[in-house]
Amino acid sequence: MKRLRFLKVTRRVFLDLRNDKRSLAMISIAPIFAMFVFGLAFSGQVKNVGFVVVNQDAGTQVIPGGPTVKLSDKVVANLDKKTLDVREGSSASAAEAQIKDGKAYASVIFPPDFTARVLAENQGASNGTVELQVMMDQSNINVANAITRAINDVLLKTMDQAGKKLPVTVSVDAVYGKNAKFMDFFVPGIMAFVVYLITTLLTLITFVGERTSGTLDRMLSTPLSETDIVTSPCIQRNWHGTGAPAASDRHPGVPYLSGRQRSTGFHRDRPAGCGLPGYGHPSLEHRQERGAGYSGASLRNTAGIFWPVEAIPSWLRPFSYIVPPTYAVDASRSVMLKGWGLSKIWIDIVALLALAVFFLTMATLSLRRRKD
């Protein structure tokens, strides 16, 4: 029957795939690899986040003439050292400066009369509770929740060890990301993901199409250099890719949170060209499915898009720093949630430009080798 002729075409496609071992391996292995990496990334717990302790507690003598007791020392000793990278701070202002500069996520300040007031409350000498001040960067919801949980756990643990109630309340002061929600953390990651995906796939389709149609060979026979051939479509695709974040800048649903500081606006300080480094690897392939597989492999390592890098297993974390979206996401969140400007996100921009130069150089060398 004529209707069954499509089966012959289908058979030809499968035979072609069988003869292309690399494409077959990519189609078979890529999904398994994706599930494995994402499973590891999303099953991780937040670890080693900067936490500054400002211990001004002078302590008190339970028995006149006896040793000085500091309950703050017991609280600090019980802190979860796996979750928190505990550091000592000289003052509250110095601890706040570290949070504002991105060197720490939170700090706790023990007042000078912390022990004296806690013991007085337990003895009924006064009414009320002792307030423990915590300053925190809440722009990363997962990290902020992990820190809050660690503080609550340490107070409960210290209370159990002391055998008495600790009349302590925690007062959280958001340095960045006040009242932030998970969507505020998620939106910048999606924006960077879309930019990277669009620029990579558009370049892949165009470049591989030109290679298979013979257009690339004709271009190589002209006075155009390999750099010209690689760079020109890259600029055009990057312009298309950055259209999505530009549109979201004017979208009323995209929040701008910054805690104590007002955001300078993502449209002013967005790292230009965050999709640029996505261009390099398509030029190395002859088939679209293999190039797309390499793009997916890169994206699978960027768990910082959907899940904080601090929660990725330590052995897997370095892979997040060799793909462009990691830096684009970090810069976008810093601008949108912290109100940072170019003076603080320049490292991310430099990293993006360096990756762009690297991938473009690799693409140029691959064309030059083909021409030779």
Confidence at residue 86, expressed as pLDDT on a 0 to 100 scale? 93
CB proximity list for 145: less than 8 A, separation 6 or greater? none
Confidence at residue 242, expressed as pLDDT on a 0 to 100 scale? 57
Confidence at residue 54, expressed as pLDDT on a 0 to 100 scale? 94
DSSP 8-state class, residue 199: H
CA distances from 30 to 174, 298, 300, 306, 317 (A): 41, 11, 10, 19, 20
Confidence at residue 316, expressed as pLDDT on a 0 to 100 scale? 74
Query: How does DSSP assign 223-234, residue by residue?
Result: S--HHHHHHHHH
CB proximity list for 236: less than 8 A, separation 6 or greater? none
Confidence at residue 51, expressed as pLDDT on a 0 to 100 scale? 95
Burial bucket for residue 232 (CB in 10 Å: 0-12, 13-18, 19+): exposed
Confidence at residue 259, expressed as pLDDT on a 0 to 100 scale? 42
Sign of CA dihedral 291, 190, 277, 47: negative
* pLDDT < 50: residue spans in the chain: 244, 247-285, 294-302
Confidence at residue 40, expressed as pLDDT on a 0 to 100 scale? 67
Listed by start position, the domains of the chain span 49-176, 181-371
Burial bucket for residue 95 (CB in 10 Å: 0-12, 13-18, 19+): buried
Confidence at residue 106, expressed as pLDDT on a 0 to 100 scale? 95
CB-CB neighbours of 139 under 10 Å = 27
CB proximity list for 200: less than 8 A, separation 6 or greater? 275, 278, 279, 282, 295
How large is the angle between the packed helices 182-213 and 141-162, nearest 10 degrees?
140
Residue type, position 131, single letter: E
**CATH number, span 49-176:** 3.40.1710.10
